[in-house]
């Protein structure tokens, strides 16, 4: 197999609420996930983020483990309520100090920090004012974004505004399986998407006006990705069309079409069209195309040349999330996004939950994860070989962590966390990934 590009960025990813803990330390304000865990039955076993992996106190140990495993980049998110406890008021110096120390520790060890500004943990005070349904959040988010960008000027080069707007809008405001747990009609969900687009845009504009080329601004997104059952031009075209079909329910279109193409897709169903008709035309001039797209890739759907779903065969391989193992999405998914949007990309997440256990020898053996990552990365290489500019790959996740509504019952890490003690045990996959990075993908 030929090599990955020379400066390909190999790394790992995580998010504040999922690993930090220290939920009420050093002046941090409460956020909607604290509330969702503490006040509802929405999370399995009533798990919460109070301690999580305790990365707030153990970040040095985590960075040392990253160094040991040749990690070159770490994508992490910031807790908005740690930095500005009520979301829009005074800054909390102590909260900021945590990220300062983390960034310095990473840089001192030759690891590039990539920041996500919002990975779902909205300050509760902003939720009380309507959250992502209230346009007042747009300037608040831009202010927070600028504060962070200025603070890390010269140290951080890549920043992502939002993580998975699809989940923010649909899991948070439609199905209610995530905080804040709302179940609203689609007209309202589309409004959340629109406000997210405007918030991304305002943040990007503010950062670029102040920092110019010193910082590159993107967003990390997810969506329905389809791959062809036969690799013919008609097969590829059918998979492309299905990927961007809004009726499939989980799509890139609303967010990325709004920002980049500045329109709603014609495949939109009536409720979305109803909302689209209410958009102030001036809003379209406010939309900012991200400078890169981060894609979170887990599973995809196979479609035939007619665009029909190919049913999965009996016993189809699945992960502990019950998600299909479909490495082909890594070949065709970024390709579809490049065809439609023409922007450079990073794989900002990819990985699997597995029922990992500590073996009798005290180690954690996870051949399933190695197979999964190996297969997906080999497909990614095919994609890059076809000329698609994918510039890096950030595995999800370095540590086992809090998997939202599933609590701690799902393990995505390459490093096992024993939640009784928060001890870390690198799994076989961590050692395997270290070799992949060392060889720049040649060992795949
Ligand atoms: C996407 C989300 O960004 C992340 O927070 C989550 O843990 C992984 N997918 C796995 O579900």
Per-residue pLDDT of the chain (444 residues; tens, 9 = 90+): 567 999 999 999 999 999 999 999 999 999 999 999 999 999 999 999 999 999 999 999 999 999 999 999 999 999 999 999 999 999 999 999 999 999 999 999 999 999 999 999 999 999 999 999 999 999 999 999 999 999 999 999 999 999 999 999 999 999 999 999 999 999 999 999 999 999 999 999 999 999 999 999 999 999 999 999 999 999 999 999 999 998 887 888 899 999 999 998 777 788 888 999 999 999 999 999 999 999 999 999 999 999 999 999 999 999 999 999 999 999 999 999 999 999 999 999 999 999 999 999 999 999 999 999 999 999 999 999 999 999 999 999 999 999 999 999 999 999 999 999 999 999 999 999 999 999 999 999
Q: Is the CB of 296 under 6 A from ligand 1?
A: yes
Residue 427 and residue 369 in contact, taking contact as beta carbons nearer than 8 Å: yes
Distance 274 CA to ligand 1 centre (A): 30
Q: Is the CB of 174 under 6 A from ligand 1?
A: no
Token pair, residue 182, equals 């709302």
How many Å apart are CA 340 and CA 336, to the nearest integer?
Answer: 6
To the nearest 5 percent, what fractions of the chain are helix, strand and coil? Answer: 45, 15, 40
β-pairing, 216-221 vs 112-118, is unpaired
Token pair, residue 353, equals 């939950």
pLDDT at 1: 53
Q: Which atom of ligand 1 is nearest to the CA of 403?
A: 7
In the chain, count H helices and then E strands.
16, 12
Distance 195 CA to ligand 1 centre (A): 22
Best residue for ligand 1 mutational test, from 403, 407, 410, 411 (most atoms within 8 Å of Cβ): 403
Bridge partners of residue 182, in order along the sequence: none
Three-class secondary structure of residue 444 per DSSP = coil
Distance 19 CA to ligand 1 centre (A): 12
Token pair, residue 123, equals 């300050």
pLDDT at 215: 98
pLDDT at 247: 85
State the helix-helix crossing angle for 165-173 and 186-211, rounded to 10 degrees. Answer: 150
Residue corresponding to tokens 């190919």: 310
Distance 177 CA to ligand 1 centre (A): 14
Counted residue by residue, the chain has a size of 444
Q: Is the CB of 33 under 6 A from ligand 1?
A: no
Of 443, 332, 347, the C-alpha closest to 395 is 347
Three-class secondary structure of residue 209 per DSSP = helix
Going 444 to 403 to 428 to 110, the CA torsion angle's sign is positive
What is the maximal distance between C-alpha atoms in the chain? 64
């Amino acid at each position: 197999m030929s090599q990955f590009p020379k400066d390909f960025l190999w790394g790992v990813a995580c998010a504040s609420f999922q690993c930090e803990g220290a939920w009420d330390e050093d002046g941090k304000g409460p956020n909607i996930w604290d509330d969702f865990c503490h006040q509802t039955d929405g999370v399995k076993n009533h798990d919460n983020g109070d301690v999580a992996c305790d990365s707030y106190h153990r970040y040095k140990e985590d960075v040392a483990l990253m160094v040991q495993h040749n990690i070159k980049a770490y994508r992490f998110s910031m807790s908005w309520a740690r930095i500005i406890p009520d979301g829009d008021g005074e800054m909390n110096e102590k909260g900021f100090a945590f990220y300062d120390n983390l960034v310095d520790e990473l840089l001192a060890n030759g690891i590039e920090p990539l920041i996500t500004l919002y990975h779902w943990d909205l300050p509760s005070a902003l939720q009380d004012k309507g959250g992502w349904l209230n346009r007042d959040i747009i300037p608040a988010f831009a202010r927070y974004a600028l504060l962070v960008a200025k603070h890390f000027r010269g140290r951080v080069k890549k920043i992502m505004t939002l993580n998975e707007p699809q989940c923010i809008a649909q899991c948070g405001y439609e199905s209610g399986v995530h905080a804040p747990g709302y179940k609203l009609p689609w007209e309202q969900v589309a409004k959340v998407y629109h406000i997210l687009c405007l918030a991304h845009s305002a943040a990007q504009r503010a950062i670029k006006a102040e920092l110019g080329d010193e910082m590159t601004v993107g967003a990390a997104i997810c969506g329905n990705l389809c791959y062809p059952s036969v690799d013919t031009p008609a097969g590829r075209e059918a998979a492309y069309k299905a990927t961007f079909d809004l009726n499939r329910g989980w799509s890139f279109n609303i967010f990325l079409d709004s920002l980049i193409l500045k329109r709603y897709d014609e495949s939109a169903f009536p409720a979305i069209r109803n909302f689209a008709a209410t958009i102030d035309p001036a809003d379209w001039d406010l939309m900012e195309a991200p400078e890169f797209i981060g894609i979170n890739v887990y599973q995809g759907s196979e479609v035939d040349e007619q665009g029909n779903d190919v049913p999965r065969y009996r016993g189809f391989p699945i992960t502990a999330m019950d998600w299909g193992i479909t490495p082909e999405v890594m070949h065709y998914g970024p390709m579809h996004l490049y065809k439609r949007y023409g922007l450079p990309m990073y794989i900002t997440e990819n990985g699997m939950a597995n029922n990992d256990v500590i073996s009798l020898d005290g180690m954690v053996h996870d051949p399933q994860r190695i197979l999964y990552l190996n297969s997906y990365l080999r497909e990614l290489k095919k994609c890059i070989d076809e000329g698609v500019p994918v510039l890096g790959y950030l595995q999800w996740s370095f540590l086992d962590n809090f998997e939202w509504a599933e609590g701690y019952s799902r393990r995505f890490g390459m490093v096992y966390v024993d939640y009784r003690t928060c001890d870390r045990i690198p799994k076989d996959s961590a050692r395997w990934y270290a070799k992949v990075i060392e060889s720049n993908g040649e060992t795949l």
